[in-house]
Chains A and B, each alone.
Chain A
Amino acid sequence: MGSIFNAQQIVNGLQVGSIYALIALGYTMVYGIVRLINFAHGDFYMIGAYASYGAFFLFNAFFAGKTGILAFIVLVASMLAGGLIAMLANRLAYRPLRYKPKLSSLITAIGVSMFLEYFFSALPMIGPSYRSFPDILPRVEINLGIATISNYVIIDIAVAAVLMVGLTILVRYSVLGKAMRAVSQDKDAARLMGIDIEKVIGYTFMIGGAFAGVAGLLAGMTYPRIFPYMGIQPGLKAFIAAVLGGIGSIPGAVLGAYIMGLAETFASAYNSLIGEGIAFAILILVLLIRPRGLLGEKTADKI
């Protein structure tokens, strides 16, 4: 067989885990603050990819050759697009149902997800088929002896790491971060403290969406194909990763995402069918054995 646990696979696993982490963070933050599984989150990822695609071609004419500036532009584009759509979805579809039974929000989220996917698929200039993502940065192979990696691996992991550190700083030290944590723990108490709940929720969606958008850009660059349904699989896996780590927990989402990335890479290397199913196997195991996840908190219902 040869060991599947070699350095090459580990690196691949960390790479895909980084992308999952960015998506999973959005799921976990939104769930933590409004207890909603945002089915449409994977589609913010897709929109980020398309937005950066569009931005690239739009600005390529002006900044041809200036890769640094172009890279910055597409990054901003992906974050803006992801964040904006997330905020819109929250404002138009989720906020009206905030105090109705949770199932209504869940079904609405399904509707939003379907809408985004089919809408992008139906637009003639986007269409349902695959599109090749341009090489914004030149691909370079780096030989490390134990493995050969492309520079994209480093980019993916590095960008994700920087964003995750930024988020941690935000959540821990900023006023918004404190407000987010307060609203997650007790909405009513937060309101009584003078916190504008809906604003905080809006920002949470925006940040989560922006992260998903960046993930879409990275994915587009790395596996250079984008299509309107590209958010379904990664979205589902990132969600499972968030559940594995403990939904609502930010470190949990990151932990779960990297475990998922590695597990998936190793499993696929062993057998592609098992690779497809590993995500679900993890979900079933988590829900049956430890539903609160690795780092999640035990919630007790008052009866």
Chain B
Amino acid sequence: MSAQLSIQGMTHYFGGLRAVSNFSFDVPQGAIYGLIGPNGSGKTTTFNLITGIYNPTEGKVLFEGKDITGMKPYKIVRSGIARTFQNLRIFSNLTALDNIRIARHYTTKSGIASSILRLPSFMNEEKTVKRESAALLDLMHLSSRANEEAKNLPYGELRRLEIARALATKPKLILLDEPAAGMNPKEVEELMSLIVRIRDEFKVTIFLIEHHMKVVMGICEYIKVIDFGETIAEGIPDLVGKDPKVLEAYLGKRGA
């Protein structure tokens, strides 16, 4: 399997603070790849660098062979990378259905004029978008919430909604930022099988940041461990879990 996403020598400074240092790795196509590390180790920053929110001080991001370093976020999304957020960024005052439909917007071709004039081509596109969005909601067991304003939804459903929204952008790679945060054990189980299903049915590569070790050990095929912006271990879960450097990073010197 070739590397779908390739991070090469990425370094990023926030003013004087070095967040990520000479960070390199490859994410193979179709994998479920995990990035773990203590708080503040640079995980979300890595996601932000990949998706174009920050322009890395040094280094490159290649996606399917194309250099996407520093491209505008919306263009990166259109190239096939989607993401969810650690702190949920849902369109609160819009319905669940609208949240999904917006993610489909860039795939539509109708211009402003044809939407104002309500041309048949526009009406058909709207129908298609609505149908496809409803289907995605259904997949996430959120159909009953379609016309509910997102701000009224409970936390667990919002997390699923955000994943559905990311899926709606027809990605080839999805970045999930702590998808299990705040979930109870049952929800975590459901999430784990959902993620695997998404990878299998939608043929997307999954790249996730997680603190929840059950998720990481349960579904990740490869793991990379990061601390202070640098790699400290990588490989398959079983080996990484026993790596003394990893234990030290999480538990401190005496804990290892």
Residues in chain A within 8 A of chain B (CB atoms)? 298, 300, 303
Contact across chains for A298 and B15 when beta carbons are under 8 A apart = yes
Docked complex: B60-86 residues within 8 A CB-CB of A: 85
Q: CA A55 – CA B228 in complex, angstroms?
A: 64
Contact across chains for A303 and B48 when beta carbons are under 8 A apart = yes
Q: CA A303 – CA B86 in complex, angstroms?
A: 9
B191: chain A residues within 8 A (beta carbon): none
A298: chain B residues within 8 A (beta carbon): 15
Contact across chains for B14 and A300 when beta carbons are under 8 A apart = yes
Shortest A103–chain B CB gap in Å is 14
Q: CA A303 – CA B85 in complex, angstroms?
A: 9
Q: Say if the beta carbon of B44 comes within 8 Å of chain A.
A: yes
Size bin of chain B's contact surface: under 10
Shortest A251–chain B CB gap in Å is 21
Docked complex: B21-36 residues within 8 A CB-CB of A: none
Contact across chains for A303 and B15 when beta carbons are under 8 A apart = no
B44: chain A residues within 8 A (beta carbon): 303
Shortest B178–chain A CB gap in Å is 14
Q: Say if the beta carbon of B3 comes within 8 Å of chain A.
A: no
Q: Say if the beta carbon of B90 comes within 8 Å of chain A.
A: no
Q: Say if the beta carbon of B153 comes within 8 Å of chain A.
A: no
Q: CA A298 – CA B14 in complex, angstroms?
A: 11
Q: Say if the beta carbon of B217 comes within 8 Å of chain A.
A: no
Query: Nearest CB to that of B89 among chain A residues?
Result: A303
Shortest A188–chain B CB gap in Å is 17
Q: Say if the beta carbon of B232 comes within 8 Å of chain A.
A: no
7 contacts between A and B (CB under 8 A): A298-B15, A300-B14, A300-B15, A303-B44, A303-B48, A303-B53, A303-B85
A303: chain B residues within 8 A (beta carbon): 44, 48, 53, 85
B15: chain A residues within 8 A (beta carbon): 298, 300
A300: chain B residues within 8 A (beta carbon): 14-15
Docked complex: B65-118 residues within 8 A CB-CB of A: 85
Shortest A257–chain B CB gap in Å is 28
Considering the complex of A and B, which 6 residue pairs feature the smallest CB-CB distances, nearest first?
A303-B48, A303-B53, A300-B14, A298-B15, A303-B44, A300-B15
Query: Nearest CB to that of B85 among chain A residues?
Result: A303
Q: CA A303 – CA B53 in complex, angstroms?
A: 9
B14: chain A residues within 8 A (beta carbon): 300
B53: chain A residues within 8 A (beta carbon): 303
Query: Nearest CB to that of B86 among chain A residues?
Result: A303
Query: Nearest CB to that of A300 among chain B residues?
Result: B14
